[in-house]
Chains A and B, each alone.
Chain A
Amino acid sequence: MRATTSKRALAWLVTFLILLLLFSFYCPISQAQTATSFTASDNFKVPEFNGSIHFALNGTCSNATYTNGTWTFRDLTLNGSQTLGDLQISTENSNITIYSYSVIDTGFRISVAQIKYYAEGTGKQDINFLANFGKTDLSQWSVVTFEGTKTIWLAVGDQWQLLSDNTIIVKGVAGNLSAVHYRFDVSSDNNLPFYAQHSIIIIVATILMTVVLVGVLIKYRAGGRKDSDL
């Protein structure tokens, strides 16, 4: 009877632990409860520059601040998405509607960011993804507009420019626009010293030799003891 009871208790305990593991992976934390919601009809005005920003979708952000004609959104989500990133944006003499936004930055060699919006009026937009891209160059950015099914690449230096803090400035273009950053670093380790280039095989070989040595020592210390004497 006692064996059955402890067995049952054990089964419940194991079940509880497994559920706890599952729960810990899938339970959302309360962070989202402090988010600020906005809807597609909300307008983020830029009165100094005669512009406005709004999103085509409902969404949330943890923080939306307006400073010197620029809106900064932190932890942006759109339409129930995962957190997409932060966005700093300003617009002058145009009203823009943001359709799509995402930032992917693994912190290691790959970073991708894109924003798609519609600009009403040939004004100017300043966009910064507020991500840790480090130093980027023009080849990693592109700004395009769309005419029907045609994609038109805007001229850098004329219709858009890149600032040193990775702010993209688009000017004089109305309609559907998309600004994209894409970096895929392919690096070679050839500049590293020999031991660094081959560090993994050196470590593996060292561990292997150590294990073999330990095994030989143990075998040697067992010495003349016959296995059947165990």
Chain B
Amino acid sequence: MLSIYALIVAVGIILILKLSKDKTRKISTLRLFIQIVAVFAIFMGLIIGPFNTPAFLPLGNSPRDNLLGANILGTQFPDGISVPFLACYYPNGRTVTCALWQLQAYVFPFWNYPRGYEVIYSTSGLEKLAIVAGMLVVAALILGRFFCGWLCPIGLYQDVLTRIRKSTRLRHLSFSDKTNVKLGQSRFIIIAVFMILSVIFASYAIFGAELIPGTRPGGPEGTEAGIVGYLNEPFCLVCPARPLCSLIECATGSMKYSYISQITYGPLWISGGYISSINLIVLAVVTILALVYRRFWCRICPLGGLTALFSTFTPFKQIALTKLEKNEHKCTKCGICKRVCPTQATAMYEKKGGDVTESRCMLCARCVEICPYDEALKITFARKTIVKSRNWLPENKSSFD
């Protein structure tokens, strides 16, 4: 199954690269394809199922079950491999897991050896935190925010919304540079706030204080006390990825809605394992705003902020392997790169030359494919050019729209 899947993906990539004649859309088309297959891999086929269903019994256990039950060189790692995009822990199993969930889950009490799913960890919360942070730094150093631009399911969701808006011929709105900068800075504030809340709520769960009247920790599922079970990861209660992924899985039949609604508790659905009133509202707001402002969520995504922190800020910036680079001698300052950037990054326009990767850049390569000057912009990996701008202008046109 995996080999068939890989073959389909490889064939698709080759065909897109070969058949796509429009130089200004080739990379975007490829990116859309990669996003779709990545979402399939994460959510549909290779992680959750259809393992153990009758049609696919010969495949045996899913990678998730193997990871959950097997030992990786002796130690179990049942919470999955940390990834720097919103592969939500709850609806999508635990082969790959959103690093943000893991950080919140492990940060307090970090000295404890908690019991996890089927296991008693021999590693402390501190060690698990170190593992997650290590994986995050490795991913950020190797690929930077490529994950945001090419693999994240919320990114795909927003790109689809953008295409829907484009089909209606409505123009997108843009934030002012000042607002956009502030939105970018808010990512780090968001992550700090939610990590602090995670510690506070985890303390509540441990020490038994009733922060929310009528609730108590350790209560049975399906009761008001169940509220407290999910407060340890407060960001997950507001993240749009969880309800989006859950509802899509309900729509495709991978999950029963009745199961989701059973573990949603409290007045006005204040908390839940999959959906809550808050995260549904956030999803609705993100959907509306993403229709209007391209990649709105990516401008404030705390996980994207963390990835950017470890790839575009000193000292990580010096050793990050994937960069967007500019040749200032070939740049004519036409400004089209700035106009097409979904997150309104400006460094590729404003900086003179060299490494122009900035924290808002998702390495989607839209600026590279639209830049009409040969090799003015390029994306490099370990200093090797992966993709570079090409002159796509027809010979008889001296300017472009």
- Which residues of A are at the interface with B, using a C-beta cutoff of 8 A? 2-3, 6-7, 9-10, 13-14, 17-18, 20-21, 24-29, 31-32, 77, 82-83, 106-110, 184-190, 192-193, 195-201, 203-205, 207-208, 211-212, 214-216, 218-219, 222, 226-228, 230
B122 touches A200 (CB 8 A): no
Within 8 A of A (CB), among B35-74: 36-37, 40, 44-45, 50, 52-57, 61, 65-66, 68-74
Contacting residues, chain B, for A29 (C-beta < 8 A): 55-56
**Could you jot down 21 A-B contacts, CB within 8 Å?**
A2-B21, A10-B16, A17-B11, A24-B5, A31-B57, A83-B57, A108-B118, A109-B119, A110-B118, A187-B120, A190-B122, A195-B74, A196-B74, A197-B122, A200-B73, A201-B123, A201-B130, A204-B134, A211-B138, A226-B354, A230-B354
For A228, give its contact among B52, B55, B352 (CB under 8 Å).
B352
Indicate whether A108 sits within 8 Å of B21 (C-beta atoms), given known contacts A31-B54, A197-B74: no
B29 touches A186 (CB 8 A): no
B29 touches A10 (CB 8 A): yes
Q: How distant is the Cα of A189 from the Cα of B113 in the complex, in angstroms?
A: 11
For B8, give its contact among A17, A189, A211, A227 (CB under 8 Å).
A17
B352 touches A25 (CB 8 A): no
Q: Which residue of B lies closest to A216 (CB)?
A: B319
B54 touches A83 (CB 8 A): yes
Q: How distant is the Cα of A28 from the Cα of B307 in the complex, in angstroms?
A: 41
Cβ-closest 5 pairs across A and B: A108-B69, A227-B354, A215-B319, A196-B74, A199-B73
Q: How distant is the Cα of A109 from the Cα of B4 in the complex, in angstroms?
A: 30
B321 touches A187 (CB 8 A): no
Q: How distant is the Cα of A82 from the Cα of B55 in the complex, in angstroms?
A: 9
Q: How distant is the Cα of A204 from the Cα of B15 in the complex, in angstroms?
A: 36
Cβ proximity bits B260-298 to A, threshold 8 Å, 1 near / 0 not: 000000000000000000000000000000000000000
B319 to nearest A CB, angstroms? 3
Q: Is B374 an interface residue (CB 8 A)?
A: no
A196 touches B134 (CB 8 A): no
Total number of B residues with any Cβ neighbor in A under 8 Å:
69
Contacting residues, chain A, for B50 (C-beta < 8 A): 25-26
Cβ proximity bits B70-103 to A, threshold 8 Å, 1 near / 0 not: 1111111100000000000000000000000000
- Which residues of B are at the interface with A, using a C-beta cutoff of 8 A? 1, 4-5, 8, 11-12, 15-16, 19-22, 29, 33, 36-37, 40, 44-45, 50, 52-57, 61, 65-66, 68-77, 115, 118-123, 127, 130-131, 134-135, 137-138, 141-142, 318-321, 325-328, 352-355, 382-383
Q: Which residue of A lies closest to B26 (CB)?
A: A10
A221 to nearest B CB, angstroms? 8
Contacting residues, chain B, for A20 (C-beta < 8 A): 8
A204 touches B135 (CB 8 A): yes
For B321, give its contact among A190, A196, A214 (CB under 8 Å).
A214
A13 touches B19 (CB 8 A): yes
Indicate whether A3 sits within 8 Å of B354 (C-beta atoms), given known contacts A83-B54, A83-B57, A201-B127: no
B72 touches A200 (CB 8 A): yes
Q: Which residue of B lies closest to A190 (CB)?
A: B122
For A208, give its contact among B56, B61, B74, B134 (CB under 8 Å).
B134
